[in-house]
A and B are shown apart, each in its own frame.
Chain A
Amino acid sequence: MAEQPAILAEGLKKYFGNVKALDGVDLAVPQGTVLGLLGPNGAGKTTAVRILTTLLQPDGGRGEVAGYDVVRDAQALRSVIGLAGQYAAVDENLTGRENLEMVGRLYHMPRPAVRARATELLTQFSLDDAADRQTKTYSGGMRRRLDLAASLVAHPQVLFLDEPTTGLDPSGRVDLWGVIEDLVEEGTTLLLTTQYLEEADRLADQIAVIDHGHVIAEGTADELKRKSGGDVLEVSVASARKLTSAVNALADLTAGEPHIDKRNNHVTVPVRDGSSVLVDAVRLLDKARVKIDDLSLRRPSLDDVFFALTGRGAEDQTTESNGESGKERTRA
């Protein structure tokens, strides 16, 4: 237990004018584990990553990565980390191989090692065929992969991935998850930010939910799900007018804030006890003359957890970003 965490943040603060981007964030990521930093846009995820990767200076608190202080030892710290930011930051006029070799040279690795590593990564990321093409000809998914490969050139001890799958299609996302899982098996410590609960659920050992610059919950995916108060009842009603009646009818069973989705005539209700809930629900809804299309009981997802914690859906505030072209992306 005496082992030093690979990433440590204590009371990190960052203000932009009056906006408290980070308002005292504490994190501790043990070596070789994955922390999922989960939160909506503007929650402070990227700011935390930027401070821990020395791009921004904190206004308060302190941070350490691999034992290096983010302010005092910034220069040394940069040699042991890899960062893949929100943009697929690859030079369009260079080939995939040249991009990787340039990054290797900038880590001051010896030339032969750089060359070997570039070839190795291009194979690992299925970019061999495109290795010697300029990256302006790459698809969005290929750029993302190359960007991730670039962050791995120097076998970093600690890797930071800021929304690595944003802008990818579902199959590209699943592919990238596979690559990230392989990395973690090799012992890399990873801090991953995401808006996708599914992603955090699948990749992270520990999850920290961040909102308005605070960590509002922490734990494994299972622990967080348990915190949200047990199972979730999902009700689809035949008519939108009956949504309120359904919620009222189920009041006795309800253990948390119901989530009403008017567009889909759908209500999600956290419930206390799993055993007889379904039978009770049918009885109560029938008594209130609410005609139902579908009724199911399930374990809570991280989506439900996020809603329970913040009172809104995790993806309510997200904006669609397009991975095809860097030009189409706008700064948040």
Chain B
Amino acid sequence: MTTATATGTAPRVAAPVIRGRLPVGWVVSDALVMTKRNLVRYFRLPNLLVFSTIQPIMFVLLFSYVFGGAIKFSLPPGTHYINYLMAGIFIQAVIFGSMQTGVGLSDDLAKGMVERFRSLPVARSAVLAGRTLGDTVRNVFVVLLMTGVGFLVGFRFHAPFVSSVAGLGLAVVFGFSFCWISACIGMSVRDPESAQAAGFIWVFPLLFASSAFVPLATMPSWLQAFARNNPITHVINAIRALTQGGPVWHDLWVSLAWIVAILLVFVPLSVRRYRNAV
């Protein structure tokens, strides 16, 4: 290698220099380069994909067969538990998926990747946007897979097709907003193991103390009060209405308001953490 010299075949192309604001084209292309990088990970690490999809599949089967028999007496007459359950399963899948955002980011931080990216003329949003978009693409895949698994065990849409698709879309968009909470956690704790643990601690109570798996009426009244105002309850009720029919608008508006609020808080917070991260 000491004898290696530049081959000199390629002309010397330097990076273009822009003073001031980055052109929008660069911002978009940076985010796409990053998204691609993050998605490649899932194809190169098949285990990651397998295990992160097996878990929700397992939940579909366990909940519907183990708890289904007991819970059906608390449901409105004529409702199959699987049709009640799936909205909760979608949200569980996207939330667990979004936790990967923080794990991945803290890994990048620990391995010096963030330092490298920050020394490049890259839009400040690109690393975070690439991660959250990459995990959102993965969430789309997981939601479609869950729908397929649900169909095999009796899940059906009872609302118009467009409305049902909107329901799945709402799950994905809600997951996107959770990716940013997760990003913020990942940029704060700085190591993947802690990011994993810190991500799950608060998610479990939030998810279970909601209308995800059982009707609120079966819970003690103090818990009902919490669960009724839990954003996850609103999102799940909206998805249930969008896919199964019933009154949609109230829960949908509250859900969208929560999504916007989460993004308004956690996008700037994450970007600031990123800018100060070394």
Binding site for B on A (CB under 8 A): 50, 53-56, 73, 75-76, 78-81, 83, 85-89, 91-94, 98, 102-103, 105-110, 113, 116-117, 119-120, 123-126, 134, 150, 154-157, 174-175, 178-179, 182, 186, 326-327
Contact = CB atoms under 8 A, between A and B. Distances in A.
Contact of B4 (A103, A106, A126, A155): A126
B10 A117 contact: yes
Q: Is the interface of B mostly helix, strand, loop or mixed?
A: loop
B135 interface: no
Contacts, number: 137
Q: Which of B37, B45, B116, B122 has the most CB of A within 10 A?
A: B116
B121 A106 contact: yes
Interface string B125-142: 010000000000000000
A205 B12 CA distance: 25
B6 A116 contact: no
Interface string B24-45: 0010011001000100110011
B78 interface: no
A85 B4 contact: no
Interface stretch (B15-23, B162-170, B220-228, B265-273): B15-23
B278 A56 contact: yes
Contacts of A178: 1-4
A89 B45 CA distance: 19
Contact of A120 (B10, B44, B278): B10
B201 interface: no
Contacts of B80: none
A113 B116 CA distance: 21
A116 B113 contact: no
Contact of A75 (B2, B20, B40, B278): B20
Contacts of A109: 13-16
B30 A106 contact: yes
Given A113-B10, A125-B4, A154-B15, A87 B111 contact: yes
15 contacts: A55-B118, A75-B19, A75-B121, A98-B40, A102-B33, A102-B37, A103-B120, A113-B13, A117-B13, A120-B7, A123-B4, A126-B1, A156-B14, A179-B2, A327-B111
A108 B26 contact: yes
A154 B14 CA distance: 5
B47 interface: no
A113 B126 CA distance: 22
B15 to A, nearest CB: 4
Contacts of B37: 91, 94, 102
A326 B30 CA distance: 25
A94 B117 CA distance: 15
B119 A53 contact: yes
Given A80-B15, A117-B10, 17 more contacts: A54-B119, A55-B119, A56-B278, A73-B19, A76-B18, A78-B122, A94-B44, A103-B120, A106-B120, A110-B13, A113-B11, A116-B10, A123-B4, A124-B6, A178-B2, A326-B111, A326-B112
A89 B116 CA distance: 7
Contacts of A327: 110-111
A123 B5 CA distance: 9
A55 B115 contact: yes
Which 6 residue pairs of A and B lie closest in terms of their CB atoms, listed nearest first?
A: A87-B112, A178-B2, A107-B15, A89-B112, A154-B15, A113-B13
B176 to A, nearest CB: 23
Contacts of B45: 93
A93 B38 CA distance: 9
A216 to B, nearest CB: 25
A89 to B, nearest CB: 4
A13 to B, nearest CB: 17
A89 B18 CA distance: 25
Contact of B116 (A56, A83, A120, A174): A83
Contacts of B2: 174-175, 178-179
Contacts of B6: 120, 124, 182, 186
B17 A76 contact: yes
A50 B126 CA distance: 20
Contacts of A175: 1-2
A195 B220 CA distance: 64
A78 B120 contact: yes
A242 to B, nearest CB: 44
A166 to B, nearest CB: 13
Contacts of B20: 75
A107 B121 contact: yes
Contacts of A126: 1, 4
Contact of A85 (B10, B17, B41, B116): B116
Contact of B29 (A81, A108, A186): A108
A87 B115 contact: yes
Q: Which of A80, A91, A120, A175 has the most CB of B within 10 A?
A: A91
A108 B121 contact: yes
Contacts of A134: 44
B22 A75 contact: yes
A73 to B, nearest CB: 6
B40 A94 contact: yes
B110 A326 contact: yes
